[in-house]
Amino acid sequence: SNYGSSADLTYNTGIQYKAYAGNSTLIAGIENTGGFLKDKKLGYPDLANAVIVNESIIEIPHAGNTIVSDQSLITTGLFLQYDLKYHRFKTGIGGRIEYYEVTDRTGDTEKNSGVVFSPRINIMYELLPYLQLRLSYSQGYRAPQIFDEDLHIEASGARRIIHRNDPDLTSEISRSLMASLDFRKLIGTVSAGMLLETFYTRLENPFFNEIGIPDQTGTVVYTRRNSDKGAAVKGINLEFNLKPLTRFSFTSGYTLQMSRYDIPHEFNTRKFLRTPENYGYMSLDWDFKPHSCLSATGTYTGRMLVPYFGPDTDAEAGELRESDPFFDLGLKISENVRLNGATLQLFGGVKNLFNSFQSDFDSGINRDPAYIYGPLLPRTIYFGIKIGNQLGEVKKDTMESTNRIRKQNRFRGRR
């Protein structure tokens, strides 16, 4: 069967203490999180091995369920953060020590545990009342676990993907440096802001997939291993904010980034797959009437390398394809109408106005189901009605959308 069933239970609990002393604060605490992931491939009638006598089907055997992953991840961490403000100077120094334990209850690999210390320091200095300099260093990690996004998504009639962790897989460590200049000033009646930021992240023991050879059934094992060398992600980010009028605002951002392994890995390339080297966003909000709003949001995604294992190439070796750049522009207009103390909001718009969308989807039973990239939706026209007593904030949906865009476009990690 190409279908599966997943159950993912997570919890989080903790306690923290915060103390104040003059211009400084101290925060300390403990946190415990857990995740329990169980995934299985559902059974199916095995038509390929049906018993046929005189061109009549006598018996169809049934293949049982197959456990793909049965994993638990428990982490317990202690953290401490000290913040100090002195005139134009602000700093924050802290750290987190965490114990993780990954248990594979299928028995394929042994229990994997470790202790990781993650320090961080932030420094901010006010060069001018409207210009701030920020420097920061932080460290993080990824535990050696099976991630739920690895499951199910890559199965077709000719190719099935199973993800496994190498028994010797260890945590991936990241060390990041960031420096920025933040300009924010009211010029006459115009509020303007600009952020110039550079970043550098060094990865130790970075994860990569070693692609196995398909067996007779077309099943391929992707084994997650640690690279013998490291990797680096570096770039520059520019953000711009402008509010010339009370009822009009504009924000935008653009990032140039380079992500490289120290040595070649998948497809004999040092580049990170599915990671563009330039991307950006924009958001415009205009209250052209007291109860009416026009908003526009856009995301730009540059070219990136996407692996392809479909029928148009060698199923064993696959090939790398370079995607087209995309600009996904959305428009929305809304009108609020007061009705007996409540608010009726009428809205409509279009998503992906230019229909900037993937044009080479695979099809057929032997398609590559993982060969998907770019915007999720083609050009889509929508409209609707909202009724409530808290719809006066016409900009709320736009701001939430903008925040999601900014998070989605932060390709600073491995994802």
In this prediction the pTM is 0.81
> Does the pLDDT of residue 408 top 60, yes or no?
no
Phi and psi at residue 400, in whole multiples of 5°?
A: -65, -40
- Shared domain for 330 and 399, answered yes or no, is yes
Q: Does residue 197 sit in the same domain as residue 329?
A: yes
Residues 203 and 62 in one domain: no
The pLDDT value given to residue 147: 66
Which pLDDT value is given to residue 203? 96
Higher pLDDT, 253 or 54: 253
| pLDDT value for 88 | 94
Residue 160 counted as domain residue: no
Residue 157, domain member (yes or no): no
Write out the residue range of the structural domain in which residue 232 sits: 168-415
> Residue 210 and residue 205: Cα distance in Å, rounded?
14
Could you tell me if 25 and 172 lie in one domain? no
Task: List phi, psi (to 5°) of 229.
Answer: -115, -175
Name the nearest CA neighbour of 176 among 157, 204, 150.
204
Helix (H) or strand (E) holding 402: helix 396-408
Encoded tokens for 228: 């013998």
In this structure, the answer to whether residues 177 and 143 fall within a common structural domain is no
- pLDDT tens digits, residue range 276-311? 999 999 999 999 888 899 999 999 999 999 999 888
Query: Quick check: is 132 in a domain?
Result: no
Domain containing 253 — which CATH number? 2.40.170.20
Q: Is 163 a member of any domain?
A: no
Residue 244 is assigned to a structural domain of this protein = yes
147 and 183 share one domain: no
pLDDT band for position 415 (50/70/90)? very low
Q: For the segment 59-80, what is each residue's pLDDT rounded down to a tens digit?
A: 888 877 777 778 899 999 999 9
Task: Tell me: do 120 and 76 sit in the same domain.
Answer: yes
Q: Is pLDDT of 325 > 90? A: yes
User: Using an 8 Å Cβ cutoff, are 114 and 171 in contact?
Assistant: yes
Residue 139 has pLDDT above 70, yes or no: yes
Number of domains in the chain: 2
Looking at the structure, do residues 223 and 365 belong to the same domain, yes or no? yes
**Alpha carbons 63 and 45: distance in angstroms, whole number:** 6
Q: What is the pLDDT of residue 74?
A: 95
Mean pLDDT on 381-398: 68
Rounded Cα distance between 395 and 250, Å, is 12
Residues in contact with 396: Cβ distance below 8 Å, sequence separation at least 6, in sequence order = none
**Domain presence at residue 133:** no
Same domain for 198 and 147 = no
Residue 131 lies in a domain: no
Q: Could you tell me which of 202, 185, 71 has the C-alpha nearest to residue 128?
A: 185
Residue 182's nearest CA partner among 243, 124, 255, 245 is: 124
158 in any annotated domain: no
147 with 174, same domain?
A: no
Whether residue 110 is found in the same domain as residue 209: no
Residue holding tokens 């991840």?
73
Does one domain contain both 14 and 59? yes
CA distance 72 to 109: 13
Is residue 407's pLDDT more than 60?
A: no
Query: Quick one: tokens of 353?
Result: 């106005």
